[in-house]
Amino acid sequence: MTTALSASYSITIRLEVPAGGAAVSQLTSAVEQTGGAITALDVTASGPERLRIDVTCAARDTEHSDELVAAMQAVPGVVIGRVSDRTFLMHLGGKIEMNSKLPIRNRDDLSMIYTPGVARVCLAIAKNRDDARRLTIKRNTVAVVSDGSAVLGLGNIGPEAAMPVMEGKAALFKRFSDIDAWPLCLDTQDAEEIIAVVKAIAPGFAGINLEDISAPRCFEIEARLREQLDIPVFHDDQHGTAIVVLAALYNALRVVEKDIAKVRVVLSGAGAAGTAILKLLLAAGVGHVVVSDIDGIVSRTRPGINGQLQWLAENTNPDNLDCTLKESLAGADVFIGVSAPGVIDGDDVATMADRAIVFALANPEPEIDPAEAQRHAAVVATGRSDFPNQINNVLAFPGVFRGLLDAQSTAITDTMLIAAAQALSSVVGDDELNATYITPSVFHADVHRRVARAVRMAAGGPEELPTDTEVVA
């Protein structure tokens, strides 16, 4: 599969060229012939003999960026100056900051915001700890907690290397749901220590978003924190993914005109995301699922079935199939992959039922080339941004937490997750729905508002939100 040009590999090259002549057009041709694309060309200084130009190009990857620079350098008269990676520039110094909501202009402001006035508020909270939700940042604050053990598709890269992802997550919380989120990357991968740390910091937060913690530890960590805390705990790799997959499946089934209770689903991947997807599919009414992991189809008679796999075996594969992943696809209506690149091919998809659905979500390389899948399947979705129907967690988690916080929820349930999926799917109206548009853009104005309201209502929150005056009074 050829990697497409991507803004995430875009570079800006500051260079000088002779004034007049054909240097600029030669630059453009050199970039295009090397497979890149110029997305901006700005003259930053001009003289009688030379022009200084900033050229911004989209590339496929780091090696391709180097090829583009070399191609421009080969143009006669071009002198390369500074080459800047635009993605790295965006991360310099981090992507988030803390700002005061109130001005501190004089002694009166200082005495109310800090000492001595703040002591009155401290005593009020000491008398009634529930007041922390209305008199501190707690009511609108989420902790984004990771140990760096399963970051994106990069694996166990550690807490420092996980920080850019968690910062990005915090930025998305603010952008899409106006929630203040704090990245907390922990220098431990011991489940007991992680649980202890999260419990210790919980008083300052209204919700916990666990992120990029590897399986199977993530299951125990989430389950025990849910038991021990009085705020919702949400593992986005599990439940955020599950919500968006279910929403996309609702709409894909609308396209192919099939009933969710009657379809047969093959799920490749039994890790954190796969298990959460399975559980939500079953809760939403899917009756027939076959799950495959690295060792093959999960069945009640497969040797070595224990722990989490035991639950999977007892709740899936009703026909107790004993075959390969490829063989299990014969006659299936839906394939969902959260596993590894290239585990199926077009011939396998061809054996599926008429008007089949394929969600190949492994990133950056999916379980099957989407173009190959489209030759046989009616609807194809991926986890990538350069193909239609991207299944992306950011469609879910900002609205989910907005709803949880507005409802002052102490927990999160399957009912809330299904409500979120239904709300997300409803954003794509009947007049918009088609095989290449089953998931809305994350920038769609209704996405996070609808998800938040659905979760708030499912959590028993108010139909209409009170004003800040009503909350504080």
Q: Annotated active-site positions, please?
A: 114, 169
Report how many helices (DSSP H) and strands (DSSP E) the chain contains, helices first.
19, 14
Distances (CA, A) of 41 to 52, 57, 320, 466: 11, 9, 61, 49
Q: Is 88 helix (H, G, I), strand (E, B) or coil?
A: helix
The amino acid occupying position 430 is: D
Q: Which helix (H) or strand (E) holds 54?
A: strand 50-59
Distances (CA, A) of 335 to 118, 344, 369: 57, 10, 14
Tokens matching residue 208: 């916990």
Name the nearest CA neighbour of 60 among 10, 108, 23.
Answer: 10
Name the nearest CA neighbour of 235 among 269, 283, 285, 279.
Answer: 279
Pairing of strands 357-360, 379-382: parallel
Are 16 and 79 within 8 A, CB to CB?
yes
Give phi and psi for 42, each to the nearest 5: -125, 125
Pairing of strands 379-382, 264-268: unpaired
Provide the 8-state DSSP code for 321: -
The amino acid occupying position 241 is: T
Computed on alpha carbons and rounded to an integer, the radius of gyration of the chain in Å comes to 26
Q: Is 287 helix (H, G, I), strand (E, B) or coil?
A: coil
| Spatial distance between the Cα atoms of 82 and 150, rounded to a whole number of angstroms | 34
Q: Is 294 helix (H, G, I), strand (E, B) or coil?
A: coil
| DSSP string for residues in 100-143 | -SS---SHHHHHHHSTTTHHHHHHHHHH-GGGHHHHSGGGGEEE
The amino acid occupying position 230 is: D
Counting every residue written for the chain, the total comes to 473
